[in-house]
């Protein structure tokens, strides 16, 4: 009997009251209304998609063609860049040594030009000074020592201070050199 009583008590516990049924029904009704709204929105979205599907497919195809075109363009540009890189390597190998050679020659020419400019500036300054002292340079041009009796040399040195030191030297010519010049 104890078992029967426990089963009856369990059945009574499992029974739902009217108030609980009303609350459950209200909640189910509310959920059904919400689901109905969601389904209507989904249906509207499907309807819009179905109506515009052809346009969207056309747009997708157009954009897909553009993407393919851009991808092909990028491939061609990469190929051209690779060709130019290879050409650059070949030209660097071919002309690299010559460029280094020309750079060194150009540096030598620049130094020679600077020396020549310093020499000219020194001579010009010396000529001005001589004229200021009243010496007629043109009159004595043919009698210059370097033409007949002396070896004339000049040196122009750029000092750290930025000034240029000019040095002129005249050494008597040897008899053999004088004979060679007159021949």
Shared domain for 135 and 56, answered yes or no, is yes
Q: Give the pLDDT band of residue 84 (cuts 50, 70, 90).
A: very high
Give the pLDDT confidence score for residue 93 in this predicted structure. Answer: 84
Place of tokens 């460029």: 99
Residues 178 and 128 in one domain: no
Do 164 and 101 lie in one domain? The reply is no
pLDDT at 76: 94
Number of C-beta neighbours around residue 164 at 10 A: 16
Q: Which domain holds residue 177?
A: 144-183
Q: Domain tally for the chain? A: 2
Based on the fold, state whether residues 130 and 151 are members of the same structural domain.
no
Q: Which helix (H) or strand (E) holds 146?
A: helix 145-148
Q: Are residues 89 and 124 in the same domain?
A: yes
Residue 119 confidence class, pLDDT cut points 50, 70, 90: confident
* Average confidence (pLDDT) over 85-109: 88
Q: Residue 75: what pLDDT?
A: 94
Tell me the mean pLDDT in the region 59-79: 91
Report if residue 176 sits inside a domain.
yes
Which residues does 164 contact at the CB level (< 8 Å), separation at least 6?
Answer: 118, 121, 122, 156, 157, 158
Residue 99 placed within a domain: yes
């Amino acid at each position: 009997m104890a078992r029967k009583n426990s089963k009856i008590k369990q059945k009574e516990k499992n029974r739902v009251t009217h108030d609980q049924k009303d609350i459950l029904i209200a909640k189910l009704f509310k959920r059904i209304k919400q689901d109905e709204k969601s389904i209507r929105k989904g249906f509207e979205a499907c309807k819009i998609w179905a109506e515009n599907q052809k346009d969207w497919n056309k747009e997708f195809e157009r954009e897909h063609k553009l993407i393919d075109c851009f991808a092909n363009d990028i491939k061609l540009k990469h190929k051209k860049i690779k060709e130019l890189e290879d050409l650059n390597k070949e030209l660097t190998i071919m002309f690299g040594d010559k460029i280094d050679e020309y750079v060194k020659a150009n540096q030598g020419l620049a130094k020679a030009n600077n020396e020549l400019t310093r020499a000219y500036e020194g001579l010009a300054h010396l000529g001005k000074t001589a004229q200021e002292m009243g010496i007629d340079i043109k009159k004595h041009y043919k009698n210059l020592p370097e033409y007949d009796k002396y070896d004339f040399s000049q040196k122009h040195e750029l000092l750290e201070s930025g000034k240029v030191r000019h040095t002129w030297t005249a050494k008597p010519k040897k008899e053999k050199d004088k004979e060679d010049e007159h021949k």
